[in-house]
Amino acid sequence: MQHIPLNSVLKRLPNHLQPFVIPQPYNTYTAKDQAVWRYVMRKSVAYLGKKAHHSYLDGLKKTGVSSEEIPHMQGMNRILKEIGWAAVSVDGFIPPSAFMEFQAYNVLVIAADIRTAEHIAYTPAPDIIHEAAGHAPIIANPEYAEYLRRFGEIGSKAISSAKDYALYEAIRHLSIIKEDPNTSDKAVADAEYRVAEISKNMGEPSEMAQLRNLHWWTVEYGLIGTLDNPKIYGAGLLSSIGESEWCMSEQVAKLPYTITAAQTAFDITKPQPQLFVTPDFAHLSVILEEFANTMALRKGGLSGLQKAINSQNLSTVVLRTGIQISGLFTNVISHEGLPIYFQTTGPTALAYQNKELIGHGKTYHADGFGSPVGKLKGRNLAIEDMSPKDLETYGLYEGKTTTLEFERGIKVMGEIITGRRNLQGKIILISFKNCTVTYNDDFLFKPEWGVYDMAVGASVTSVYAGVADPESYDLHFDPPSEKTHKISYSTSDINLHKLYQTIRNFRTSSANNFDILEAVFKEINSEYKSEWLLSLELYELLANTQLPLKKRVSEHLELLKVQKPFKKLITEGLAVLS
């Protein structure tokens, strides 16, 4: 397990999330990386002070995010704990379910890498600018922070489709190679093609896919206020100096934020053609709850079981009594739109109120679990509603050999060994020996298979992704096998980073030996003529002087402006200095 710098929030993180956490590789950030951070932040603060929600500037201070240097995670955590949050470093995109669960624990995941100067205006990969400078400031707003936590809580229960993970891996791969300057154009084109092909063949969007849409159009690319005068609060916009301007143009349609956003897909490789505007942060929670009401988490039933089966992932089914069955659901028998029997395959655990029932963990139920759902035939009362006298009348007591015939054809015949009750005294589990379970002429359980444990519940009230008691189940997430690419720097690159460090040292020291800056500019003219950001940092140090070097650096920047990629970046960088 990686060492995590703890604050009180991080101490609550469950074990299965910790494999995603990595130590922040602060020593690998180069002086050029620091210059990229500084450029983006200074320009963003200057622009977003007028265009972002009023929480943004105040939030930068509250969350310990400075314009001058890439934040240290330990420092952020010392400050974030004051507002009930924490931050951890991760390696690029992590699976949506894990991302959501971190949010549910009030933990902000921050991609450790930082974008290259080539992608300074926008990067398809999550990076520390996006996470720390985009997400962190707005969570200082209590109402928004609660929305984010609640989104994580609901989102971590959303059921994915079997294809969702393939799309996630394809997007992660694309984001990794696009940020690597050594990637060929063909490799990028192939990766983009794969994302497009998977996206076209996803079928009906899963709950997780729809929630990812809602997350994108709010947390990442949300606007707030009126359609005529919206402000920015989405992290993707706050951290992109290109898109934060583009989004305010008339070329981007502004739509009222409604639940229809859940059906609106997005493309991470392109600027967004439309954005959604919420009138206030409270409205975000209204839409979230509206969507949650459509989820298997709240609806349960046959459709919920079918979603769990189709997901091919661990899921939990909750019956009316509150008993929770966690495992890989593979089959359901239904009648007239109602589930009457469900089946898991492989390790399965039973729980109540998210605590595993003693003796009913995944080792005991290693080969799967099956149980009927519904009322007994000819009985008005469900088993869980029967009084002790009713149970005795119907032969439901220890040592009694009985036949339970359910309304829609399931029969359970055997000798009752024992039962489990919930806190309200309702029966939630009955165990049989010498038991046979049938549906018409099909055997669902035979006596030679051992003890039959029957979960009790007249209906399926909830179905959700994951397991009820992750710690007892020993749930384990493996971090993605493909890691973000670590850039291999040439001798020329390393020397360039030293020049950036020289500029950084000059800025932070009280010395005023301008011969040092002359030497840097000589190197630029000799070896790094296209290094616009270093030239801009150099000019900043000369801006308030009358030295001849200032004029020469200014002329050099003007020459660089002729090159299309640099004109806007240099012009806007100079504007921040004025």
pLDDT digits (tens, 9 = 90+) for 438-472: 999 899 999 999 999 999 999 999 999 999 999 99
pLDDT of residue 246: 87
- pLDDT reading at 2 higher than 70: no
Residues 157 and 187 in one domain: yes
Specify whether 511 is located in the same domain as 451. no
Between CA 217 and CA 485 the distance in angstroms is 28
Instruction: Examine residue 59 and state whether it is found in any structural domain, yes or no.
Output: yes
- Do both 357 and 458 map to the same domain? yes
Residue 254 lies in a domain: no
* Gyration radius of the chain's alpha carbons: 29
More confident residue, 185 or 324: 324
Q: What is the DSSP string of 51-72?
A: HB-THHHHHHHHTT--SSSPPP
How many Cα atoms occupy the beta-carbon half-sphere of 300 within 13 Å? 19
User: For position 488, what pLDDT does the model report?
Assistant: 87
Same domain, 97 and 164: yes
What integer pLDDT is reported at residue 361 of this predicted model? Answer: 97
Q: Please work out, in degrees rounded to the nearest 5, the angle formed at the alpha carbon of residue 136 by the alpha carbons of 132 and 141.
A: 165
Residue 114 lies in a domain: yes
Same domain, yes or no: 503 and 407: no
E-state strands within 406-538: 410-421, 427-439, 442-445, 452-455, 460-465
Q: Where does a domain end: 163, 178, 206?
A: 206
Q: What CA–CA distance (Å, rounded) separates 220 from 241?
A: 14
Token pair listed for 289: 């709850």
Are both 445 and 538 inside the same structural domain?
no
Domain-located, residue 460: yes
Retrieve residue 85's tokens.
């949050």
Q: Is there a single domain that holds both residue 337 and residue 402?
A: yes
What sign for the dihedral angle of Cα 382, 387, 391, 397?
positive
**DSSP string of 76-101, one letter each residue:** HHHHHGGGT-EEEEESS---HHHHHH
Same domain, 539 and 410: no
Structural domain includes residue 478 = no
For residue 305, what pLDDT band results from cuts at 50, 70 and 90? very high
pLDDT of residue 121: 79
In a domain, residue 230? The reply is no
Residue with tokens 């029969």: 411
pTM over 0.85: yes
| One domain for residues 180 and 323 | no
Q: Give CA 577 to chain center in angstroms.
A: 37
pLDDT of the residue at 275: 97
Q: What is the pLDDT of residues 53-69, one digit of tens each?
A: 999 988 988 888 889 99
Residues 320 and 462 in one domain: yes
* Structural domain count, the chain: 3
* Domain at 96, CATH number: 1.10.800.10
User: How far apart (Å, rounded) are the C-alpha atoms in residues 161 and 532?
Assistant: 46
Q: Given CA atoms 267, 219, 251, 226 in this order, what sign does their dihedral have?
A: positive
Confidence of residue 6 (pLDDT cuts 50, 70, 90): low
Among 275, 218, 232, 278, residue whose Cα is nearest residue 45: 232
Q: Are residues 115 and 194 in the same domain?
A: yes
Query: In angstroms, rounded to a whole number, what is the distance separating the alpha carbons of residues 347 and 408?
Result: 28
Of 348, 367, 339, 370, which Cα lies nearest the Cα of 432?
370
Classified as helix, coil or strand, 355 is strand
Q: Shortest CA distance to 251 belongs to which of 223, 271, 281? A: 271
- What DSSP assignment string belongs to 302-361? HHHHHHHHHHTS-EEEEETT-EEEEEEEEEEEEETTEEEEEEEEEEEEEEETTEEPTT-S
Query: Which of 407, 441, 473 is at the close of a domain?
Result: 473
| Sequence-ordered list of residues with C-beta below 8 angstroms from that of 513, at least 6 positions apart, any chain | none
Give the CA angle between residues 501, 503, 509 to the nearest 5°.
100
Last residue of a domain, one of 473, 500, 525: 473
More confident residue, 75 or 292: 292
Range of the domain at 354: 312-473
* 3-state secondary structure (DSSP) of residue 123: coil
Assess contact for 188 and 164: CB atoms under 8 A: no
pLDDT at residue 167 tops 70:
yes
Is pLDDT larger for residue 122 or for residue 371?
371
The number of angstroms, rounded, from the C-alpha of 356 to the middle of its chain's C-alpha atoms is 26
Q: What is the pLDDT of residue 148?
A: 95
Does residue 484 register a pLDDT over 90?
no
SS3 349: strand
Is 423 a domain residue?
yes
Q: Which residues pair with 406 in a beta bridge?
A: 376
Q: How many CB atoms lie within 10 A of CB 183?
A: 14
- Residue 84, domain member (yes or no): yes
* Residue 193 vs residue 339, higher pLDDT: 339
Element (H, E) at 507: helix 491-508
One-letter identity of residue 283: H
At 573, the amino acid letter reads G
Note whether 357 and 443 are same-domain residues.
yes
